[in-house]
Structure formats: structure tokens, C-alpha cells
Amino acid sequence: MLTQSKKDELLNAIKYNPSSSPRPYMLKIRSNPYLHSILNKLRIWYSRNVLSKSLKDRYSNNKSKFILNNVESRYVNELRSNGIVVLEDYFDASFIDSLEKKVNCIFRDLKIDEHGGYNVAHGRLKTLKGMTYEELAISEESIGMLNPLLNVPEFVKIAFNESFLKIVSTYFGFIPSHQVSSSRAFPHLPPMESSYFHKDSGNHEVLHIFVYLVDVDDNGGPFCYIPKTHKNDVKSCSPMTNYDLGIKKDYGRISDKEINKFYHESEWMRIKGKRGSVVITHVNGLHKGPMWMGDNIEKLKARDIFHINFRSSVGVKKENKSEKIYKKDIKNFSELQSLFLDNYEIIES
Ligand SMILES: [Fe+2]
């Protein structure tokens, strides 16, 4: 059990403390939604058509492998229109339960990425090494599993689901980079980091597929998305971040109050669902999650998800392959699945 003084010491160490201010010319652009919209559209166009040219060519050369059935075509259209598709109960609950049993043990045993998480990324902590589960639960927004495809090989089936690969590539018109993670998000009131509204990127395409590994209700931290905000139109570029407004709270992200000026709460889509439900979402749109609500933290439950991250190129040549997968798990891969292994180090056994 953590003592109050230890708790206070930890919470003080991770306190949000912005060290920089926005550059004046960026602030000028972001204060003008018309300029902001044009700039983002240009940057995305450049990433999609110039930096990702080789990914586009690869898609064109393999187009016959990406033929969609009617349902998949419908999902692509829905994604184009709304920026989000929800597939309820897509994976069988008993399959997910068998995974979640392993996932829970792995998180409890702290087989986690010790250099992951917002506190390390923003220099508030050097590493998560040596921290107890209880300490992590009060100080981290979420923890990520170390090498998820090695620790839970059943994830391979989800990560390389052919339908997912076809839908995402057809939507983009190129073969995106492919990365995976499995995370446990801890409830916090007030919320932390990505639980405030934001867009994941303004300069390249980012699409996430995540699978709920536990049932997610209002108390389980549902993902929240504002449909049709993924196209960088003027309206979606209008809400200002706290960082740009000079408000030093909520991690510099966009407050609910600011969002409400442009998108009434009734337009926010909160995605609740049973374990095995899938969310496909273009996170260049406005979103937050997990969305923790209410004033009683005792009611809130940690949320486990498996997550596939697809991106267009940002033009930086990667030296290291960031993901790992066992050779035995890809031996029966189709040609389509094998197209997504560029980012993977193949481990013998
Ligand atoms: Fe995000």
C-alpha cells in the first residue's frame, strides 16, 4: 500500500509543467482556422503523395490483393465519410477472454515497455523501471506491453487480419507502416493526457484500429470521436489548444469547453462496446480517450486494448525495425499479410 507522502511525491514529479510557448508564426497560423486548414491539408497532401510515393506504388503494384467484398467496401465508404467505423462484437468473446487472461498476467507481472508512456516521453520521469504496479496506476495514463506479438502470439491473428489490412490500404491508397501495441489505461480524475481532445497529427496520416479486450461501458473509458473532423476542414481546425491559448492546464490539449463552441456534446460519439468490438478510426480527426467521467474514481475501471497503428510516411528513414514477431507465426502468411512486415524484426524462436 502506497503511503500518502509517497503518492504526493510521485504526483508532484509528474505534474504538467509546460516549458515552452508556441512559436509566434505557428500561433498566428493556428489562430486562423482558414490558414490552419490550408496548411494541414498541404502537409497531409505532401506526406501522402510525395513522401509516401513508394508506398503508393507498392499498393498499385499489388492492387489485385486488395479486392474488397461488399461489407469491406461499405466500411471504407463509412470511414471516408465519418472518419470512424465501429464493428461491434467483431471477435468472439471467448477468444478475447483467453487473450485477456494472458494480458492481465503480463501487466500484473510488469512486462511493460519501461521507456513508454507520456511521463517518460515528456521527460517527467526517466524510466518506469523499478516502479510498482500501484505506483504506475496512479501516475501513468497507461502502460504498454513489451513486444505484444511475442508475449501473446494470438495477437498476430488480429494484427494481420486481412480484412483490416485491405480496408485501411484501400482507404489510404497506399500500404501504410504497421505497428502494434497492447495497453492498459488507468482511470484518472481529472483525466490525463490523451483523455483530452486532440488530433494525432497535422502533417501525416494516422489511422488506428483498436480492439477492446474488456467490456467498455461509461465507466470503462470509452473512446470518444467527433465524426467528420478527419478532413482538416475549417471548422475542425477552429478549436484552439490550451497550449496555443496560453492556458497552462490539461496538458496543453483542447478543453471540452473549447470543443463545445464548435461541436455540441451531442455530436461526440462515445464508443462503448463488448470485448471483441473493434474501432477503426482516422485519428487526424478530433478525439480523446479513454474518456473518464463523473466524480467517483472508485466506479471507474482500467481499460485494456490491442492497438494497430497505420501511418503514412513522415520522410524519416527508420534505422531500426520497431516491432518483433516470431518466424513460426508468419510461416503461413499470405502475400497480402507479408506486405506489412517491413517494420518487423523476425525472431527465430
Ligand atoms: Fe490520439
Report helix, strand or coil for 169.
helix
The contacts of residue 317 (CB under 8 Å, 6+ apart) are none
Q: What would the mean pLDDT of 318-335 be, rounded to a whole number?
A: 88
Interval between CA 281 and ligand 1 midpoint (Å): 10
Assigned C-alpha cell, 133: 504496479
Q: How many residues does the chain have?
A: 349
Assigned C-alpha cell, 65: 490483393
Is residue 176 classed exposed, middle or buried when 0-12, 13-18 and 19+ CB atoms within 10 A define those classes? buried
Interval between CA 320 and ligand 1 midpoint (Å): 24
Please give the domain boundaries of the chain with CATH numbers for all domains: 21-347 (2.60.120.620)
Which pTM does this prediction carry? 0.94
C-alpha distances (whole Å) from 304 to each of 9, 97, 100, 212 are 27, 12, 8, 7
Interval between CA 255 and ligand 1 midpoint (Å): 14
Q: How confident is the model at residue 318, as a pLDDT?
A: 58
Interval between CA 156 and ligand 1 midpoint (Å): 23
Position 316 confidence tier, pLDDT thresholds 50, 70, 90: low
- Within the chain, residue ranges assigned H as helices are 4-13, 24-30, 33-46, 53-61, 70-82, 93-108, 118-121, 133-139, 148-151, 155-159, 162-172, 242-245, 256-260, 335-338
The pLDDT tens digits of the residues spanning 68-80 come to 999 999 999 999 9
DSSP 24: H
Look at residue 279 and tell me whether its pLDDT is greater than 80.
yes
Q: How confident is the model at residue 17, as a pLDDT?
A: 80
Position 317 confidence tier, pLDDT thresholds 50, 70, 90: low
Question: Can you say whether residue 101 is alpha, beta or left, with left for phi > 0 and alpha for psi between -120 and 50 degrees?
Answer: alpha
- Cα(3)–Cα(11) distance, rounded to whole angstroms? 12
Interval between CA 283 and ligand 1 midpoint (Å): 6
41, 205 Cβ separation under 8 angstroms: no
Q: What would the mean pLDDT of 226-242 be, rounded to a whole number?
A: 96
Interval between CA 175 and ligand 1 midpoint (Å): 21
228, 83 Cβ separation under 8 angstroms: yes
Interval between CA 177 and ligand 1 midpoint (Å): 17
147, 110 Cβ separation under 8 angstroms: no
Q: How confident is the model at residue 10, as a pLDDT?
A: 87
144, 182 Cβ separation under 8 angstroms: yes
